[in-house]
C-alpha cells in the first residue's frame, strides 16, 4: 500500500486526477453499467410480459365476442328461415283460398247460366223498358 501511495505522491495533482478518473471509469464499466443494464433488461422484460398478457387477454375477449357474434348470427338466420317458412305457408294458403274462391265463382256462374239467370246476378233490362226510356 505504501508503494501505491508513494507512486501517487510522485505523480502529483495531475497524476492523482488521472488515477481517480481511471478508477472511476473502471468502477463504472465493471460494476455500475452491468447493474444498470441488468435493471433495464428486467424492466424491459417486465413491460414486454405485461403487454403480452394484455394482448392475450384482448385476443381472448375478441375470440369470445366472435363466438357470441357467430351464435347470434346463427340464431338470427334460424329466425329468418322460420319467418320465411311462415310467409311461404301463408302465401300458399292465400293462393289455395283464392283458387277455391275463383272455382266457387266459376261454379256459380255455370249454375246461373244453366238456370237462365244472368251470370253477374243482375237482371237484364227488357226491350220494352229500353224503348220507353229513350226520348
Each residue's pLDDT, cut to its tens digit, for the chain (135 residues) gives 788 778 767 777 787 788 888 888 888 888 888 888 899 999 999 999 999 999 999 999 999 999 999 999 999 999 999 999 999 999 999 999 999 999 999 999 888 888 877 655 554 444 444 444 444
Nine-digit cell at 39? 435493471
Question: Which cell numbers in the block locate residue 21?
Answer: 478518473
123: left (phi over 0), alpha (psi -120 to 50) or beta: beta
E runs forming strands in 1-135: none
Amino acid at each position: 500500500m505504501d508503494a501505491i501511495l508513494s507512486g501517487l505522491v510522485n505523480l502529483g495533482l495531475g497524476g492523482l486526477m488521472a488515477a481517480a478518473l481511471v478508477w472511476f471509469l473502471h468502477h463504472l464499466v465493471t460494476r455500475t453499467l452491468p447493474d444498470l443494464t441488468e435493471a433495464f433488461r428486467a424492466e424491459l422484460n417486465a413491460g414486454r410480459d405485461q403487454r403480452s398478457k394484455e394482448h392475450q387477454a384482448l385476443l381472448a375477449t375478441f375470440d369470445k365476442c366472435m363466438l357470441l357474434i357467430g351464435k347470434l348470427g346463427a340464431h338470427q338466420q334460424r329466425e329468418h328461415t322460420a319467418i320465411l317458412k311462415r310467409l311461404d305457408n301463408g302465401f300458399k294458403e292465400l293462393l289455395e283460398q283464392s283458387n277455391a274462391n275463383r272455382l266457387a265463382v266459376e261454379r256459380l256462374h255455370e249454375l246461373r247460366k244453366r238456370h237462365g239467370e244472368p251470370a253477374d246476378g243482375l237482371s237484364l233490362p227488357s226491350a220494352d223498358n229500353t224503348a220507353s226510356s229513350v226520348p
